[in-house]
Amino acid sequence: MSQVIEAVEVDVPVRAAYDQWTRFETFPRFMEGVERVEQQDDTRTHWEISIGGQRREFDAVITEQVPDERVAWKSVDGTTHAGVVTFHRLDPQHTRVTLQMETAPEGVVEQLGDKLGVVKARTKGDLKRFKQFIEDRGAPPEGGWRGEVRPGQGKVAGDRPESPGETR
């Protein structure tokens, strides 16, 4: 199992950082190797990724979600993957985003890449690109889901506004 913890400070309010992160379909714009993310419902996502030239697909479920604080997930099939992203208000215009992940590299190429620190470097680069993406936007993201998911309880509250041309 590969474990990674990385953080980045972004020059946006915590709500903007959180709302952008919950727009999973935008991940390919700043995450290396993520080709597509489809939001199936409030707690399920389908991922298409490429690692070391190998294409993988898996479904993940959000296990915990608290607006402006955290989003936790785990894969339910395919690639073994779990993690949590937390949002820490530093001041009204600055937020620290911390990403913790565990993955199980599959095959010789992925295991070698893991030993060489590729997962850690990729994660660090993804957060750097997230910072640039959110800061360059110039406007707060529209349509972030403000509901909650609690461990063992599923979705407990919240509406999911939609913005034109995008789903959550």
Name the token pair of 9: 């400070």
The structural domain count of the chain equals 1
Residue 68 lies in a domain: yes
3-class secondary structure, 126: helix
Q: What is the DSSP letter of 141?
A: P
| pLDDT tens digits in sequence order for the chain, 168 residues long | 788 999 999 999 999 999 999 999 999 999 999 999 999 998 999 999 887 777 889 999 999 999 999 999 999 987 788 999 999 999 999 999 999 998 876 666 666 666 666 778 889 999 999 999 999 986 666 666 677 887 776 666 555 444 333 434
Count other Cβ atoms within 10 Å, centred on residue 150: 13
Q: Can you give the C-alpha Rg of the chain in angstroms?
A: 15
Residue 126 lies in a domain: yes
What's the predicted TM-score (pTM) here?
0.82
3-class secondary structure, 122: helix
Which structural domain range is residue 128 located in? Answer: 2-140
CATH of the domain at 123: 3.30.530.20
Residue 18 lies in a domain: yes
> What span, in angstroms and rounded, lies between the C-alpha atoms of 10 and 127?
10
